[in-house]
């Protein structure tokens, strides 16, 4: 049998190398190309039955100067004559979850999905997370409120705070009640350090009962308590542990990767750069000064009263922000009208998880200034 010449062997090796590089390029470049094609970065308009923009509707992605800094937001609504609602997100903007969990807020409100200073559309790599404080974010929320009032000619608007956004929202409503018809707290924070301790104890107990020794060992290396606080390594375990037990973002979400990360990449209303910044801001938020302020605060002491109607939406499976702690805060909070609404199939995000019940409460109670549907109510 004739041995291949050096030239032939070189040609064979060259073809193998080219084929290998082609496979690698296809593996890397094709998904990247698809990501760019899937990221036009334009808000989805509301259309009539003929495919034309719905008269009176709004679908914008804009940047507005808020307290000297350009900040991004989506403004969506089927009729700008409707009441305005400002949505305050938690640890990261979550408007992109509406593609997985459709809701109908825009049927009844003009909704501003503001992405806070340092997050998502408002992320700026030149600004350190240490320069963003609770006071700054509350001031920003109030300024966004005034912008919306001017923009849409409204005397007052509605304010909804989710998770970390509820920490800001209830303080904003207490500080300037004249700006708001009502405040809605979804997964309302109160004593977050206590909440983290309760979550830790619950998860450790569940994993022990489930026989998941690997997760038990991980949790036992970073114990959480009121006395010792939260170890830095706890953040590396917390989210995965919560989601695996159905006590995280939603009760049916078992993985941050499949439930949050991949949906954020599939969200067509972000550009690729905006998707990257969404996660850059998220990674910074876990070590931010604001997070430390949340852990150190007891809202029952710092914000014991609010001079607007207050509505708490809380999932019974929520351990990201404790259901029992939110209920205790509600019981002590003074307000002209209060309603606490338990969601039996939800964890941390009732608006997304049980949209029909949420929208019924918003239509029949919040918009009418009542609390008829609440399981706990005070007038």
Q: Residue 305 sits in a domain of what CATH number? A: 3.40.50.1820
- Interior/surface letters 158-189, b for 16+ CB within 10 angstroms, e for the rest: bbbbbbbbbbbbbbbbbebbebbbbbbbbbbb
Q: Which range has the worst mean pLDDT, 14-23, 208-217, 327-336?
A: 14-23
Q: What residues does 369 pair with on adjacent strands? A: none
The pTM (predicted TM-score) of the whole model is 0.89
Same domain, 34 and 130: no
How many structural domains comprise the chain? Answer: 2
Does residue 88 form part of some domain? yes
Give the pLDDT of residue 281: 86
3-state class of 291 per DSSP? helix
Does residue 231 form part of some domain? yes
Same domain, 25 and 122: no
Same domain, 14 and 60: no
Q: Is the pLDDT of residue 29 over 50?
A: no
Does residue 4 form part of some domain? no
Same domain, 224 and 251: yes
Same domain, 157 and 29: no
For the chain, the average pLDDT equals 90
- CB-based contacts of 41-46 (< 8 A; 24+ apart in sequence): 41/268, 41/269, 41/270, 41/271, 41/274, 42/268, 42/269, 43/74, 43/76, 43/269, 44/268, 44/269, 46/76, 46/78, 46/106
Give the pLDDT of residue 286: 55
Q: Is the pLDDT of residue 337 over 70?
A: yes
Same domain, 155 and 57: yes
Same domain, 144 and 25: no
pLDDT tens digits for range 222-238: 999 999 899 989 988 99
Give the domain range for residue 160: 43-379
Does residue 332 form part of some domain? yes
Does residue 1 form part of some domain? no
Does residue 212 form part of some domain? yes
Same domain, 241 and 279: yes
User: Percent of the chain scored above 90 by pLDDT?
Assistant: 78
The pLDDT-based confidence of 41 (bands split at 50, 70, 90) is: confident
Give the pLDDT of residue 289: 84
Same domain, 153 and 50: yes
Q: Is the pLDDT of residue 11 over 60?
A: no
What is the pLDDT averaged over residues 136-165?
97
3-state class of 107 per DSSP? helix
Give the pLDDT of residue 14: 44
> Are residues 299 and 189 in contact, defined by beta-carbon separation less than 8 angstroms?
yes
> Are residues 158 and 181 in contact, defined by beta-carbon separation less than 8 angstroms?
yes
Does residue 239 form part of some domain? yes
Does residue 5 form part of some domain? no
Distance from C-alpha of 150 to C-alpha of 123, rounded to nearest angstrom: 25
Q: Tally the C-alpha atoms within 13 A of residue 308's C-alpha that lie toward its C-beta.
A: 26
Same domain, 336 and 355: yes
Same domain, 224 and 361: yes
Give the pLDDT of residue 30: 45
Same domain, 126 and 19: no
């Amino acid at each position: 049998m004739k041995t291949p010449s050096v030239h032939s062997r070189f040609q064979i090796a060259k073809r193998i190398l080219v084929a290998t590089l082609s496979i690698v390029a296809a593996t890397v470049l094709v998904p990247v190309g698809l990501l760019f094609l899937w990221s036009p970065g334009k808000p989805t308009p509301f259309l009539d039955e003929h495919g034309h923009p719905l008269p009176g509707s709004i679908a914008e992605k804009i940047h507005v100067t808020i307290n000297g800094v350009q900040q991004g937001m989506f403004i969506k609504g089927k009729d700008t004559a409707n009441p305005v609602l400002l949505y305050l997100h938690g640890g990261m903007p979550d408007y992109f979850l509406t593609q997985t969990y459709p809701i109908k807020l825009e049927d009844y409100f003009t909704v501003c999905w503001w992405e806070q200073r340092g997050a998502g559309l408002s992320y700026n790599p030149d600004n350190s997370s240490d320069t963003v404080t609770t006071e700054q974010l509350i001031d920003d929320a109030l300024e966004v409120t005034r912008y919306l009032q001017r923009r849409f000619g409204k005397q007052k608007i509605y304010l909804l705070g989710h998770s970390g956004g509820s920490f800001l929202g209830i303080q904003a409503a207490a500080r300037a009640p004249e700006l708001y018809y009502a405040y809605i707290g979804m997964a309302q924070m109160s004593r977050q350090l206590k909440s983290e301790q309760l979550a830790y104890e619950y998860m450790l107990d569940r994993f022990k009962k489930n026989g998941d020794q690997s997760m038990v060992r991980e949790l036992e290396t970073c114990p959480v308590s009121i006395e010792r606080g939260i170890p830095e390594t706890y953040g590396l375990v917390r989210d995965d542990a919560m989601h695996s037990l159905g006590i995280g973002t939603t009760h049916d979400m078992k993985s941050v990767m499949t439930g949050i990360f991949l949906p954020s990449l599939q969200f067509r209303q972000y550009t690729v750069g905006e998707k990257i910044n969404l996660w850059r801001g998220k990674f910074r938020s876990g070590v931010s000064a604001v997070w430390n302020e949340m852990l150190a605060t007891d809202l029952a002491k710092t914000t014991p009263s609010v001079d607007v109607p207050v509505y708490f939406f809380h999932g019974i499976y929520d351990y990201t922000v404790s259901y029992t702690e939110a209920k205790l805060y509600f019981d002590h909070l003074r307000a002209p009208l209060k309603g606490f609404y338990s969601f039996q199939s939800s964890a941390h995000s009732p608006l997304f998880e049980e949209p029909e019940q949420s929208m019924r409460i918003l239509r029949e109670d919040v918009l009418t200034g009542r609390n008829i549907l609440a399981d706990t109510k005070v007038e």
